[in-house]
Every structure is written in structure tokens, then in C-alpha cells.
Amino acid sequence: MVHWVRAAALVAVLGAMPAVGAMAQTVRWAASGDPNTMDPHSQNVGTVTMVLQQIYDPLIHRDRDLSLTPGLATAWRQVEPSRWRFTLRQGVRFHDGQGFGPEDVVFSITRALQPTSNFGIYVDTIAKVEAVDAQTVDIITKAPDPILPNKLASVFMMSKAWSEANNAARPQNTRAREEMVTTRNTNGTGAYRLATREPDVRTVLVRNPAWWGWQVEGNTGNVAEIVFRPIASDATRIAALLSGEVDFVLDPPLQDLNRLRAAPGVKVVEGPEVRTIFLAFDTAREELLYSDVKGRNPFRDLRVRQALYQAIDIQAIHRTTMRGQSVVTGTLIPEQVNGYAKSEDVRLPFDAARARALLAEAGYPQGFSVTLDCPNNRYINDEQICQNIAAMWSRAGVRTAVKAQPLAPFFAQIQRDDTSVYLLGWGVPTLDALYSFQSLLATRNGAQGDGIWNYGGYSNPRMDALIQRMKVESGEARKATIREALQLYREDLPHIPLHHQMIPWAMRSTVTIPHMANNQPYFRWAMAGAQ
């Protein structure tokens, strides 16, 4: 028996021999969610992007500090107010060996513009894409778009020939009954290519030695193979890291962080995320849906919103619930976002007495009751934050019930405008303030992006005018407009800002991956092997 086992072990070792050399540079990576698709223009969510951005390149890359750096385009400039010119990198090849050229840019952007794409927000201002010559592409926008390069940093380039040959010229079509080739196959230009794709089980990426970027300074990664496995259960994910079956966990649960820090061979890397947590009020209805105040809406009164703001002891939430891992804020956007102004990042002070006085002044000396809608598995400690706030508001006289739900029913509910006050966390993938203002604070008017996440129905013509100006202005004028909008945000209080989220990553101490504020690991900078 023993002999048999030894023999089997020997066979296993011999079988694995060719991989031994590469073993040191394999990173086994786990996260709670699996990408739904391998199509680069279908689902605009972090779990998809975190894998695809290893495989596909955009025209413009992001550097470690999220600033823009050349990708498949080596240079870009605004030749006319509505015309951006991109110079393409030469000699780039897709993983299937075909060359990359201007027709691929035209094709990819057109594909992202299809109604079945979720990437509309990045390309919605584009009217036309023109191939000028073999290394130049012009993008003509409907109106001047100062932040087009920021947006194009999120649009991946596909091969026109490959996509058309595989009948994948449109992103995922729900009307079709067949699976599309791009659901499980890729053909990018990026640092890694897809070797195995088993949805919900395993996704294996191998290094593309021919990637153009390995010649570029700074791309010092040595990882030869990435094995991604989704592990949904928090406890199991952490057990796998502790037992050495996994090298890198993108989303370790907060309650385990102290244990992970103390564990030998494991490190926790923390950094800010570009995501702001806030509460938003229903300021549109004449009477709240979930309150005992009849005939009027207390949240339409600025004094009530201010009272609830000042009733929140944000430092207590920061210290206890968030265990110090949050950046308390008084504004809509974190500092990595273009347009951020330190002078506008000021909170109304916590003052329970003032809160009660304001409520009495507004005509609610006895307070009132309200239901706070809250997700319980979307943001870090989301439900606990709501519980804390409910307790603080109740102390000030506003009797608050928390309705915490998983994200699917929560989002379904608030998207029907079926809420009186809710907690939301907002990430800014374009890293520009317009994205937040447009989605969260513009009056909903059916236009792409305007007010689509404004479920409190906040509407102020002055804010709308500022947002329209943000869309077309550039330079110092635009900066001033954003600052004015941030000022108005502080005066109007459509939201109560709480904090920017901090995101911890956990990894074996043999692995080094730079922490990114967009919560995306970039393996082109990852080092694995001996410490």
C-alpha cells in the first residue's frame, strides 16, 4: 500500500515536472465573485474588468496612481474642440497573431456604442470614429468632450477580423438563444492571454511574452501564470489563504483582518478606494412613502436634512464600525477624482443639540418616523453603518427603522424610486467629477446618464446648468464649474456624505501586487516568488 502511494506520488511529481520552473511565478488568486462573461463590452462591473484588463488593452492605460499613460495609443490631443486625434502604437499583435490597426479601434468603439453594451457611459459623446491613416484615428464627438481620454481608458480594443469571423460584432444579445463566442473566449493584445475558462470554477491566464508593454519601463511583473478561482464563502476564502492554497484574496472580509495580520506568511495591504458612501433623501414627493408625517415631506426642508446630518457622529462610525478603515468626508468625490477640492471637503459638525433645535424649528419638535433602506452585502459594513445612523437619528428624535436587504432586491426597490432615504456607495470609474454629478444629482430627463441614479428626485436648475457646463467646458473654466457644483452640494444637502471606503487586499508574503484605488489588481506590476 505504502509503495503504491509512493509510486503514485512520484508519478504525480514527474507529471508536474515541466511546470516546476514556472511554479514560483504562479499566482493563485481568489475573490468572492466570478466574472459573468469574457466579453469586453458587455458588463461594466469590477468582477469582469478585473480579469479582462489583464487580457485586453485600452487605447490609454492607467498608471499606478491612476493617471493616464500611453496604451495602444502613444499620443492623443484635441485637434479641434470636437475632434480628438490618437496616434496608434505600431507593431502590436493580438493573441491570435493578427496585427492591431485603426480599423480595430473604429470597430471596438462602434461595438461599445451598441445598445446591448453596458459601456455607453464611456462612449456616449462620440459621434463618429475615423481612421485617418495606418497609425492615426480621429474621434469626433457630438459636443466638445474634455474628458474623452479618461473615458477611453476603460474601453478595451478587440480585433475586428476575429470578432466578425466569430459572429460577435455586437456585445451579448439577450434575444439570441445561443451562447456567443465572446462569453468564454478572448482575443486581446494584453499582457496575459486566456488559457482556460470554466465559469464559476477556474480561469487561467498565461503570460503573453510578446506583449508590447514588457518593453515599457515600469512593467516589471514576473508572474507567468494567474489562476483565478471564485470562492463565495468568506470563511472558506480566508481558510484557503491561510492554508496556502491561494496566494491573493482581493476581498478579504473585514472581521478577519486582524487574524490575517497576525497570521504568519500572510500580509494585508490597505488603501483607499474611489467609492463614496452617502445617504440620499427623497426630496421630490409631497408626502414620504415611509414616514408617519402626512401631507408634507420633511426632507424637502433644508433644516431637517441639516438636522439629520448634524445628528450623525461620523467619527464614532469611523472608529468602531469601520475600525479606522475609512476616510471621513464632507463632499461627493474622493481626492483621486478630477475636480476634487480640499476646501469643499468639510463636514457640518456633529452636534446633537443643534440637530434637535433644527428639527423643532422646522416644525417637528416631537420628531417623526422614517425607514432607511440599506443593502447588506454591497459595501463594507453597509448594514452596520445604517444601524449606527438609525440609532443616532432616533436619539435626535427621528425614529428610524432600517430595512436591510441583499443587493438584488435593494437595487430593484430603489430603482423604482420606492424609498424615502437610502444608503448608496458610488464609485467613479472615469475618475472625473462629471460622472458623479451627472448620475446622482442631475434631473432625470431620459438623456444618457442624466440622473439615472438620482432616486431621491433631487432637482435644482442651477445644478443642472452646472452639469451641462461640465460636459463641454475644459481647463480652468471647468475646474471652477465643478467647484461651484461642490459648493452647491454643501449648501443644498441632497445627500449626507459619510466616508470614502478603504479596501483591504490580503496576500501571501511571497506576493507583491500594488494596491490600486480602483480596486483592480494589475498583474503587469505583480511580483511573485521568494520574498
What are the residues binding other proteins (CB under 8 A)? 8, 12, 34, 36-37, 39, 42-45, 115, 118, 120-121, 172, 174-180, 183-184, 198-202, 229-233, 235-237, 239-240, 242-245, 406-412, 415, 427, 439, 446-449, 452-453
Q: Smallest gap, in angstroms, from Cβ of residue 442 to other proteins?
A: 13
Contact call for residues 368 and 293 (beta carbons, < 8 A): yes
Cell numbers 509510486: residue? 7
Least distance CB 305 / other proteins (angstroms): 25
Place of cell 471647468: 478
Q: Which is nearer to other proteins, 108 or 325 (CB)?
A: 108
- Closer to other proteins by CB, 38 or 88: give it: 38
Smallest gap from residue 60 Cβ to other proteins (A): 19
CA distances from 264 to 33, 508, 510 (A): 26, 9, 11
**Cα separation values, 79 from 139, 144, 151, 436, Å:** 10, 11, 18, 27
Nearer to other proteins by Cβ, of 39 and 382: the residue is 39
Got the DSSP string for 301-343? SHHHHHHHHHT--HHHIIIIISTT-EEE-SSSS-TTSBT--GG
Whole-number minimum distance, CB 307 to other proteins, in Å? 31
Residue 521 Cβ vs other proteins, minimum distance, rounded to whole Å: 20
Of 18 and 115, the one with the shorter C-beta distance to other proteins is 115
DSSP secondary structure, 31-77, as one string: ES---S---TTT--SHHHHHHHHHH--BSEEE-TTS-EEESSEEEEE
State in angstroms the smallest separation of the CB of 313 from other proteins. 31
Rounded to an integer, what distance in angstroms lies between the CA atom of residue 137 and that of residue 86?
Answer: 5
Taking the complex as a whole, the smallest distance from the CB of residue 198 to other proteins amounts, in Å, to: 8
Considering only CA atoms, which of 102, 105, 96, 99 is closest in space to residue 58? 105
Q: State whether the Cα torsion 65-45-469-85 is positive or negative.
A: positive
The CA distance from 317 to 320, in Å, is: 5
Nearer Cβ to other proteins (35/102):
35
Query: Considering the complex, what minimum distance in angstroms separates the CB of residue 438 from other proteins?
Result: 10
Residue 35 vs residues 198, 228, 486, 515: alpha-carbon distances, Å? 11, 10, 35, 20
Which one, 237 or 356, has the nearer CB to other proteins? 237
Helix, strand, or coil (residue 203): strand
Considering beta carbons, is residue 92 or 246 the nearer one to other proteins?
A: 246
Residue carrying the nine cell digits 441632497: 494
CB 497, min distance to other proteins, A: 19
Nearer to other proteins, 327 or 452 (CB): 452
- C-beta of 293 vs 452, nearer to other proteins: 452
β-pairing, 368-375 with 421-427? parallel
